């Protein structure tokens, strides 16, 4: 038995014991809700699961057959539960419940006492009482174990039948089809998905599914399953027909797992289900039931979203909150075997007085129906088959009671000339539910954005919106973008209070008016003195446009300290030193010099992620001398401090490697030499791999180049760091010349267009038209600017200078590296201690207050 019991150090009596029976999606959601509660520490949580693994995503179970592993579907891990301090037992089916003693006992004989018990036992598939339903390869579709059994049985089968033409049955049929079986669906009712769809919708769905090669048999009641002639089984139907098959999957609905309640005397519904009130409490107030085992208002909700809602209500109630469960929307949108299906509210129009509009297009195979309230003002239901693009809008109308437009039919009619009366993200009220799985409203999303979650991924991580069934992801993106737009318009238009322009606009102004300094720009196009936002931005644009020496007097006050002192400032105010090592290739002689310099100046030495060497702990006054040593030895600045090209990482390629197909080393060095010194909105990293094994990890770089048998594949806008992104394949099998041409254009286009501090990945993702648009610009010269882009890049390449060389050759510039304008002393606060035979900054408690490190006269220290 796998168990992960966390023992509490505090006496357990002070904490309330919460025992959760069942670790399906809803049980797990309850645990998460409770763990997020501010009263978390008041509770000791124990999870008892009858399954052999922790919660996984049952909604996307069919993904298993599309190659998803159990780990991919997992919603949590043992490690995560341990981190949360949640104790759990697997393979621990609860078999006994003592309401007086408040204990539960597992099949393994272990007993657990509780203050509050949560039953989240879920449901089991209903298998119709047909003779022969227990024959070999007669299976159900519910757990990962079921899937493994289906996969196994399918290997020995040619034909498969799903009994049940509901939502889950069609999912299961899709799984059989993916496994390569001749697939049949047998349904008792006259139509498919009778709960969600009306008759015409069901008919169209049937036609479309049959087009895909699935045989549908409706109005068939199976009487008996016996031996077949061609196949393992033969299904005899009540109407006298029969069907032969090797494998049968029962998907005829669910039944609540309510045995515990049944055996130990909790109130049950007539047809099963543990009766709960609006707090999800059962007839015993210490016991809650949530999810598919719970019966609320004589109804069992077989969807995950209402289950999540119950979990939240129950967790909240335990913590003393007042939220109640008052039912849930059962609308659904999904793709069944590639067919889009949507159903909202009163799909059948059963509400007295309800009327509907329908639109059917047999050519395009779409069917749409909206059901409106008797007064004609509100949308109360909808059916969509073949095209669900209107689902989000219709759902918002239905859920939020938004008044219908003058001609409601325009909501489902195809837009001919006239614009559809769209329901933009803006017109939704803040109370509009965006994600019904996690009950996230538009207001929640706005709050999260205001809290600084300005990346879509951050937003989903923090609100959980679209992490349930995923059906709302498009709507979420719309709301997100509309909200950002609202903020973005202000932020983007005005770089800061000193300039009412975006970075891109400033770039154009600077180029068009040949502006060479910040002073010229702000006096003509801005106001005030500038600030830490606009100054470095303008400095970067000036460098990208004119490529002057960045420490010309007018430029110095604009730069971040890293650019002013040509090093990366560290936490203690010292700087790091990184000479350029193109492609990571370095001679032993240069290595020795780096080693000597590091040793003489007592610098902490580390290999960087970009195949170079970083020397830390140089005081500002030491920098010119350190760099003089490196430059004398034939090295140059690595621009590790600049928003500019950093490194071009490389493997050795076909010069050494058995597998290499091109000379990646030479290409990497060529690219690094070409683009070094290019100032850009953000730092740039490249890599070149000599074969598809991709040892240089080029697909995580702004520019990635991977050798092929015929040339180079170019990848763009990859990113490691805070928000990793795989690069997009831009063009394939390029020759050297075209490769460089494309990179020239791509980079220069980015440099012109991107916002400040925007990496190529974020730039591309936010660019209207995205990758295809940039391709059209770079490859097809859609904007007719390629000559200009190339010429600009050529000008940058031609005007390169090693800014450290220029600096040390100018005594006036070197003067700026003094620690004190009036003293040769050093900063007494910069103190080091030794760790692993190298220096590191002393922590505050390790420092000797007031102790002054003697000023180091560098000329004296220099070895002869």
Partner 1 sequence: MANNKSWHTVCHKNDLLTGAGVCALVNRDEQVAIFLIDNRRVYSIANWDPIGQANVLSRGITGDEQGEIFVASPLYKQRFSLTSGHCLDDDAVTVPHYPTRIKNEQVQILA
Q: Is 499 in the site for partner 1 (CB under 8 A)?
A: no
State the DSSP code for 153: H
Q: Is 532 in the site for partner 1 (CB under 8 A)?
A: yes
Q: Is 810 in the site for partner 1 (CB under 8 A)?
A: no
Supply the minimum distance, in Å, between the C-beta of residue 505 and partner 1. 20
Q: How would you write 276-290 as a 3-class SS string?
A: ECCCCECCCCCEEEC
Judge contact between 296 and 256, C-beta under 8 A.
no
657 assigned to a ligand binding site: yes
Using the contact rule CB under 8 A, the part of the chain among 61-69, 182-190, 376-384, 528-536 near partner 1 is 528-536
Using the contact rule CB under 8 A, the part of the chain among 415-423, 463-471, 550-558, 788-796 near partner 1 is 550-558
Pairing of strands 366-372, 440-441: unpaired
Q: Is 827 in the site for partner 1 (CB under 8 A)?
A: yes
Of 536, 567, 610, 690, the residue at the interface with partner 1 (CB under 8 A) is 536
Judge contact between 521 and 515, C-beta under 8 A.
yes
Q: Residue-wise over 435-456: b if at least 16 C-beta within 10 A, else e?
A: bbbbbbbbebbeebbeeebbbb
Of 588, 844, 854, 863, the residue at the interface with partner 1 (CB under 8 A) is 844
Alpha helices in 85-226 (DSSP H): 144-155, 167-178, 199-211
Which C-beta is closer to partner 1: that of 500 or that of 783? 500
Cα separations in angstroms, 353 against 298, 380, 505: 25, 12, 58
Judge contact between 90 and 14, C-beta under 8 A.
no
Of 820, 833, 861, 862, the residue at the interface with partner 1 (CB under 8 A) is 820
Of 13, 322, 417, 823, the residue at the interface with partner 1 (CB under 8 A) is 823
State the DSSP code for 744: H
Q: How far apart are CA 86 and CA 46, in angstroms?
A: 6
Of 729, 819, 838, 840, the residue at the interface with partner 1 (CB under 8 A) is 819
> For the residues of 233-284, what is the DSSP string, one character each?
EEEEETTS-EEEESEEEE-S-EEE--HHHHHTT--B-TTS-EEE-TT-B-SS
Using the contact rule CB under 8 A, the part of the chain among 129-137, 561-569, 664-672, 757-765 near partner 1 is 561-569
Q: Is 821 in the site for partner 1 (CB under 8 A)?
A: yes
Q: How far apart are CA 851 and CA 328, in angstroms?
A: 69
138 assigned to a ligand binding site: no
Residues 32/35/36/40 CA torsion (nearest 10 deg): 160
Q: Is 528 in the site for partner 1 (CB under 8 A)?
A: yes
437 assigned to a ligand binding site: no
Of 326, 389, 561, 776, the residue at the interface with partner 1 (CB under 8 A) is 561
Helix (H) or strand (E) holding 839: strand 838-841
Of 482, 531, 729, 842, the residue at the interface with partner 1 (CB under 8 A) is 531
Q: Is 822 in the site for partner 1 (CB under 8 A)?
A: yes
Q: Is 517 in the site for partner 1 (CB under 8 A)?
A: no
Q: Is 565 in the site for partner 1 (CB under 8 A)?
A: yes
Q: Is 569 in the site for partner 1 (CB under 8 A)?
A: yes
Q: Is 450 in the site for partner 1 (CB under 8 A)?
A: no
Q: Is 564 in the site for partner 1 (CB under 8 A)?
A: yes
Three-class DSSP category at 369: strand
Supply the minimum distance, in Å, between the C-beta of residue 580 and partner 1. 23
Q: Is 225 in the site for partner 1 (CB under 8 A)?
A: no
Residues 366-405 that bind partner 1 (CB under 8 A): none
Using the contact rule CB under 8 A, the part of the chain among 310-318, 388-396, 485-493, 557-565 near partner 1 is 557-565
Distance of CA 18 to the CA centre of its chain: 32
Using the contact rule CB under 8 A, the part of the chain among 665-673, 696-704, 788-796, 827-835 near partner 1 is 827-835
Supply the minimum distance, in Å, between the C-beta of residue 635 and partner 1. 25
Q: Is 529 in the site for partner 1 (CB under 8 A)?
A: yes
Q: Is 850 in the site for partner 1 (CB under 8 A)?
A: yes
Pairing of strands 568-569, 440-441: unpaired
Using the contact rule CB under 8 A, the part of the chain among 95-103, 172-180, 255-263, 534-542 near partner 1 is 534-542
Helix (H) or strand (E) holding 478: helix 473-493
Residues 314-373 that bind partner 1 (CB under 8 A): none
Q: Is 535 in the site for partner 1 (CB under 8 A)?
A: yes
Q: Is 572 in the site for partner 1 (CB under 8 A)?
A: yes
Of 350, 723, 852, 862, the residue at the interface with partner 1 (CB under 8 A) is 852
Cα angle: 468, vertex 471, 477; to 5 degrees: 100
Q: Residue-wise over 751-774: b if at least 16 C-beta within 10 A, else e?
A: bbbbbbebbbbbbbbebeeeeeeb
φ, ψ at 305 (rounded to 5°): -60, -50
Beta strand spans in 62-153 (E): 87-89, 94-98, 103-106, 111-113, 116-119, 123-125, 138-140
Which C-beta is closer to partner 1: that of 125 or that of 536? 536
Size of the site for partner 1 (CB under 8 A): 41
Residues 613-632 that bind partner 1 (CB under 8 A): 620
Q: Is 828 in the site for partner 1 (CB under 8 A)?
A: yes
Judge contact between 515 and 548, C-beta under 8 A.
no
531 assigned to a ligand binding site: no
Q: How far apart are CA 222 and CA 220, in angstroms?
A: 6
Nearest to 304 by CA among 478, 442, 120: 120
Using the contact rule CB under 8 A, the part of the chain among 34-42, 84-92, 293-301, 817-825 near partner 1 is 817-825
**Burial class of residue 383, CB neighbours in 10 A (0-12, 13-18, 19+):** buried
- Angle of helix 736-753 relative to helix 786-798, nearest 10 degrees, comes to 90
Which C-beta is closer to partner 1: that of 210 or that of 553? 553
Q: Is 829 in the site for partner 1 (CB under 8 A)?
A: yes
Binding residues for [4Fe-4S] cluster: 651, 657, 691, 695
Binding residues for siroheme: 695
Binding residues: 651, 657, 691, 695
- Which residues of this protein are in contact with partner 1, per CB under 8 A? 497-498, 528-532, 534-536, 553, 556-562, 564-565, 569, 571-573, 620, 815-816, 818-823, 825, 827-830, 844, 850, 852
């Amino acid at each position: 038995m796998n168990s992960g019991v966390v023992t509490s150090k505090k006496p357990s009596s002070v904490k309330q014991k919460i025992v959760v029976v069942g670790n399906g999606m809803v049980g797990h959601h309850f645990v998460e809700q409770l763990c997020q509660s501010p009263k978390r520490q008041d509770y000791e949580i124990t999870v008892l699961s009858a399954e052999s693994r922790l919660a996984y995503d049952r909604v996307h179970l069919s993904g298993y057959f599309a190659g998803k592993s159990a780990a991919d579907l997992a919603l949590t891990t043992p490690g995560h539960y341990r981190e949360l301090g949640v104790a759990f037992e697997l393979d621990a089916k609860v078999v006994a419940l003592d309401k007086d003693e408040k204990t539960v006992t597992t099949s393994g004989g272990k007993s657990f006492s509780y203050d509050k018990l949560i039953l989240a036992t879920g449901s089991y598939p209903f298998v119709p009482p047909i003779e022969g339903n227990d024959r070999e390869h007669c299976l159900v579709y519910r757990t990962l174990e079921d899937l493994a059994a289906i996969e196994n049985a399918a290997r020995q089968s040619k034909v498969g039948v799903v009994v049940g033409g509901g939502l889950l049955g069609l999912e299961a049929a899709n799984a059989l089809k993916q496994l390569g079986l001749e697939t049949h669906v047998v349904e008792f009712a006259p139509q498919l998905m009778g709960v969600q769809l009306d008759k015409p919708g069901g008919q169209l769905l049937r036609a479309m599914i049959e087009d895909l090669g699935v045989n549908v048999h409706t109005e068939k009641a199976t009487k008996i399953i016996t031996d077949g002639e061609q196949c393992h089984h033969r299904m005899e139907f009540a109407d006298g027909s029969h069907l032969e098959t090797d494998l049968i999957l029962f998907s005829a609905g669910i039944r609540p797992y309510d045995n515990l309640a049944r055996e130990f005397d909790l109130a049950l519904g007539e047809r099963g289900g543990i009766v709960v009130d609006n707090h999800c409490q059962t007839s015993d107030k210490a016991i809650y039931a949530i999810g598919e085992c719970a019966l609320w208002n004589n109804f069992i909700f077989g969807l995950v979203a209402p289950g999540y809602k119950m979990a939240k209500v129950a967790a909240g109630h335990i913590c003393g909150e007042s939220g109640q469960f008052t039912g849930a929307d059962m609308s659904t949108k999904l793709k069944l075997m590639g067919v889009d299906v949507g159903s909202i509210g009163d799909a059948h129009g059963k509400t007295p007085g309800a009327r509907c509009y329908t639109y059917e297009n047999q050519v395009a195979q779409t069917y749409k129906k909206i059901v409106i309230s008797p007064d004609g003002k509100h949308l109360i239901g909808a059916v969509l088959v073949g095209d669900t693009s209107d689902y989000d809008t219709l759902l918002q109308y239905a859920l939020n009671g938004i008044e219908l437009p003058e001609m409601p039919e325009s909501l489902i009619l195809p837009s001919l000339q006239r614009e559809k009366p769209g329901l933009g993200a803006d017109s939704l009220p803040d109370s509009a539910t965006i994600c019904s799985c996690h009950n996230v409203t538009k207001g929640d999303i706005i709050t999260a954005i205001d809290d600084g979650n300005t990346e879509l991924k951050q937003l989903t991580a923090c609100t959980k919106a679209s992490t349930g069934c995923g059906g709302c992801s498009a709507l979420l993106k719309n709301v997100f973008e509309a909200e950002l737009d609202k903020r973005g318009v202000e932020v983007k238009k005005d770089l800061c209070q000193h300039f009412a322009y975006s970075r891109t606009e400033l770039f154009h102004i600077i180029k068009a008016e040949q502006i060479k300094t910040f002073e010229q720009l702000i006096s003509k196009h801005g106001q005030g003195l500038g600030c830490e936002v606009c100054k470095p931005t303008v400095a970067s644009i000036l460098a990208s446009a004119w490529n002057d020496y960045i420490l010309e007097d007018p430029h110095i006050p604009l730069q971040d300290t890293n650019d002013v002192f040509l090093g990366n400032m560290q936490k203690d105010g010292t700087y790091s030193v990184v000479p350029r090592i193109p492609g990571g290739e370095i001679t032993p002689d240069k290595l020795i010099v780096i080693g000597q310099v590091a040793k003489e100046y007592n610098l902490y030495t580390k290999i960087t992620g970009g195949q170079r060497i970083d020397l830390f702990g140089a005081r500002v006054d030491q920098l010119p001398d350190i760099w003089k040593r490196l430059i004398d030895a034939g090295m140059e600045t690595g621009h590790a401090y600049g928003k500019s090209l950093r490194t071009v990482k490389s493997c050795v390629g076909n010069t050494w490697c058995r597998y290499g197909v091109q000379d990646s080393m030479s290409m990497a060095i060529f690219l690094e030499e070409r683009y070094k010194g290019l100032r850009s909105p953000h730092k740039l990293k490249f890599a070149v791999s000599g074969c598809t094994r991709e040892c240089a990890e080029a697909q995580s770089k702004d520019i990635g180049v991977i050798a092929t048998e015929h040339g180079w594949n170019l990848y763009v806008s990859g990113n490691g760091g805070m928000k990793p992104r795989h690069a997009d394949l831009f063009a394939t099998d390029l020759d050297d010349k075209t490769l460089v041409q494309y990179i020239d254009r791509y980079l220069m286009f980015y440099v012109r267009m991107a916002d400040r501090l925007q990496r190529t990945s974020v730039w591309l993702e936010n660019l209207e038209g995205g990758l295809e648009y940039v391709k059209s610009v770079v490859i097809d010269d859609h904007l007719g600017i390629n000559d200009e882009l190339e010429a600009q890049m050529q000008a940058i390449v031609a005007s390169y200078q090693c800014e450290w060389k220029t600096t040390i050759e100018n005594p006036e510039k070197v003067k700026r590296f003094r620690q004190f304008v009036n003293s040769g002393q050093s900063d007494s606060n910069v103190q080091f201690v030794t760790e692993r035979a190298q220096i590191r900054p002393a922590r505050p408690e390790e420092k000797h207050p007031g102790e002054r490190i003697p000023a180091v006269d560098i000329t004296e220290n220099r070895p002869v």
